[in-house]
Structure formats: C-alpha cells, structure tokens
Amino acid sequence: MPSSTAQHSSSASGSSSSTAPGAASPAIREILASAARGEELSFEQAHLLATSTGADLAALIAAADQFRRETCGDTITYIVNRNINFTNVCFVGCSFCGFGHGPNAPDAYSHSLEDIVAKARAAWNVGASEVCIQGGLPRDLDGYFYRDILRAIKRALPAMHIHAFSPMEISYGVEKTGLPLRDYLRMLKDEGLGSIPGTAAEILDDRIRKQLSPNKLPVARWVEIITAAHETGIRTTSTMMYGHVEEPADWVRHIQLLRGIQKRTGGFTEFVPLGFIHDKTRLFRIGGARPGAAREEHLRVHALARVLLHGAIPNIQVSWVKLGLDLSLDCFAAGANDFGGTLMEESISKSAGATFGEYVSPEEFRARIRSIGRAPAERSTTYAIRNRFESEAVSASATAQPRPQLAPAESRVAHPQGS
C-alpha cells in the first residue's frame, strides 16, 4: 500500500479536481454557490451534484473541501476506542452480512458480562476513552442484557464513554422488555449509555431495505428511535451504506432525511459513509449488488455529504476499515475531517471481506494526518478535543502507552457494516 503523503494530497485533488472548479457547468456552479450561502438544496439540485463527473465533480470536491475548512479548520480528529462485538449470534439474516451466525454454528460466540468488562478495562488501560458495543440479535436475548452491560462497565469504569446499541438493538430491547421506547431509552441513559451508533441505517428507503434485509426495522422506526434518543438527551452518529444496489438518488434522499432530523433535534454528532464490502456477502453473490464503490464514487459520496449537510452536521467521518488508510486520506481532501476510532478489535467488516485490519495506533493516525499537512487531534465521542499534539515530542510523553495486547479470540470477525 503506497504511503507517500504528497501522493495523497495530489491524488485527492488530482484526477477528480485536476480541472479547475471554474470549468464546471453553470448549473453546478450555481448550486454550489447556493449551498455556500446556506440555502437548502432541492432534490433535483442535489441529484445533479450526486451524478456529477469531470469538472463538475472536481467543483463538488473543491466546494466540500472549502466547507470542511470553514466548519472544522485543518484539524483531523480521531478517537482512541475499542469495538466490543459481544455476540455474533443473530436471526435477522441481512444479505450484506458475513458476521451473523446461527446459535449452533461452530463459530458462534457470546461473551459474558465478565468478558465484556475485561475487554473494556483492557482498552481503558491503554488510553481508550470510549467502547463501542454492538452485537447480533439472538432469539433468546434478555431485553435487559443491554442495561446489564452498561451497569457492569460503569461499575468498573465510571468515566468510560459507552457508545452502544444500534437502533435495531434498541428496537429489539423494547420488544423484549415490553417497555415504552422512551422509558427504555431513559433506563439505558440512567445506567450510563453515553451515545448510540446511528447504524442499521443502510439506505433509509423501505424499497431498498427489503432487498438488503427484509427483517430489519423499517425507515419510520429507525427515525422514531433516533429522534426519541435525541429528545432524551442521547446523541447519535449517522451512517449510510453505499456501493451495493442503491443509486445516487437514494444517497440524496437518505442524506436529506438526516439533514431534516438534525434541523429538528441537533442530536447527530457526525455522518459516516460506509462503503459496501462485497466479498463473502449473499447480497453480492446472488442479490445483484455492485462490488462496492470505486475511488471516484467514494470521493463523490464524501463530498456530497459535506455539501448537503453543510450548516447541519459538522463532522464527516471516514471509515478506514472500509476504505483503507490511503483512500481515507484522499477523502480528507473531499470534505471529511475525522478518522474515526483506533478500534482495536474490528471484526464487522472483516467478516464481509475487508482487509484493512483491526487496529491503527494513535501514533500512526497522527503520522498519516501530518503526512497530508493537517493537524491531528484526539477527541472525545462528542468531539471535545482531548489532546492537540502540537509536537510529536509532547504527544509522545503525554500518551506513551503500550500497543494493545489482544487476546487471540479477538481476531474473530464481528458485527457487519450496516448494523
């Protein structure tokens, strides 16, 4: 994997933006000027951006880069965190998922509360400020198990931020306990839930969701849960899985739906485009999906998100697990400003065939960020800056810590891309 930085800066603005933005068509120039003035774009305007090529795409990427600079400056943030995928037993059967197993499968596993706490403690001991907890949906799950996970971790590590449970899991917990949604969310918040991953979104269109995962919660329920979480004081991320059976019009509707929610609640911390990893998935083998996005499409989606969410959701995160580090760096010249987490354990995408590993050290994040002339900063889940690393000499003494030592079992695959 080439790692030269100059190569990244020039390639990010290279093939796509080698043509000056001024060469873009009058229609695209007017749409981007309108977005810069903070005006809402219509579906038709946004769709023109989403299908842009050549000089028009270069102009979209240049505008996204400018909006990122105005909103976030030249800092690229990351978080030291750990994924804990506590079970891979799942009945839902999403066609893009290589992670879920039947309860009797030889590779099926379920971690005990003690194991989960031990993993969280190990992460804390090497400097993690967050654990991200998601799992499959076993038929026999106790609806209070999610509460018990929070209680156990908070008892051991009161200051650890727990970012946990997709809207699908929240919906399942509500169904299992019979509690009203808002009571269930309040219970989780009282037990230490810090924020919720806005996963299980895939594409927020019921027609597409039927193709991807007919057993997954419908769009209206996803929106209801996310909105209720925000109104309960629980912030969430937002995501979109692209590069499969969807079309640019679906990206636009999805992102505009998120923008509408954000205008009402202000509860999203970030938007994370998740490129579809096609290997080993039923969706690719027999579902007619594309084999993921190519480089230009990755850049287009990140730039489109920055422009359509300008003035609403301030942070666009790359998923390095899906993109790899080189393409992630390219996306930092197309509107993205956040590297996501060190993860330490990431079997979700690996299960679908991603090959980009399970862990990136904070030192490597910082080196990669500096290599494209940007300033690295470690952040909290909600984007408070924890350390700016004015010089690596300072950061080295401030954060000297061993690389995580992972138990062999943690190299197993975990919870997949959409959910």
- Write down how long the chain is: 419
Number of residues that bind ligand SF4 (CB under 6 A): 15
Which ranges of 178-294 does DSSP label H, i.e. alpha helix? Answer: 181-190, 206-212, 219-231, 248-265, 282-285
Q: Residues 51-90 vs ligand SF4: string with x where CB under 6 A?
A: ---------------------------------------x
21, 100, 194, 404: which one binds ligand SF4 (CB under 6 A): 100
28, 72, 76, 137: which one binds ligand SF4 (CB under 6 A): 137
Is 133 a binder of ligand SF4 (CB under 6 A)?
Answer: no
Q: Structure tokens of 409?
A: 């079992």
List, in order, residues 6 or more apart from 192 with CB less than 8 Å away.
150, 151, 153, 154, 162
Q: Structure tokens of 286?
A: 């027999």
Q: Is the distance from CB of 252 to CB of 46 less than 8 angstroms?
A: yes
Is 419 a binder of ligand SF4 (CB under 6 A)?
Answer: yes
Q: Which parts of 72-206 are beta strand (E)?
A: 75-79, 81-85, 130-134, 161-164, 193-196
- Cβ nearer to ligand SF4, comparing 335 with 418: 418
CA dihedral (281, 285, 289, 293) in degrees, to 10, reads 60
35, 117, 122, 136: which one binds ligand SF4 (CB under 6 A): 136
Is 404 a binder of ligand SF4 (CB under 6 A)?
Answer: no
Q: Is the distance from CB of 100 to CB of 94 less than 8 angstroms?
A: yes
- Of 91-99, 217-225, 283-291, 352-360, the window that binds ligand SF4 (rule: CB under 6 A) is 91-99
Compute the least distance from the CB of residue 413 to ligand SF4, in Å.
11
Compute the least distance from the CB of residue 116 to ligand SF4, in Å.
17
> Beta strand pairing status for 130-134 and 235-242?
unpaired
Q: Residues 155-194 vs ligand SF4: string with x where CB under 6 A?
A: -------------x--------------------------
Compute the least distance from the CB of residue 290 to ligand SF4, in Å.
19
Compute the least distance from the CB of residue 215 to ligand SF4, in Å.
8
Closest listed residue to residue 241, CA positions, set 211, 262, 268, 196: 211
Q: Residues 208-227 vs ligand SF4: string with x where CB under 6 A?
A: -----x--------------
Label residue 82 exposed, middle or buried (CB < 10 Å: 0-12, 13-18, 19+). Answer: buried
Is 99 a binder of ligand SF4 (CB under 6 A)?
Answer: yes
Is 97 a binder of ligand SF4 (CB under 6 A)?
Answer: yes
CA distance 316 to 296: 17
Chain residues binding ligand SF4 by CB under 6 A are 90, 92-94, 97, 99-100, 136-137, 168, 213, 415-416, 418-419
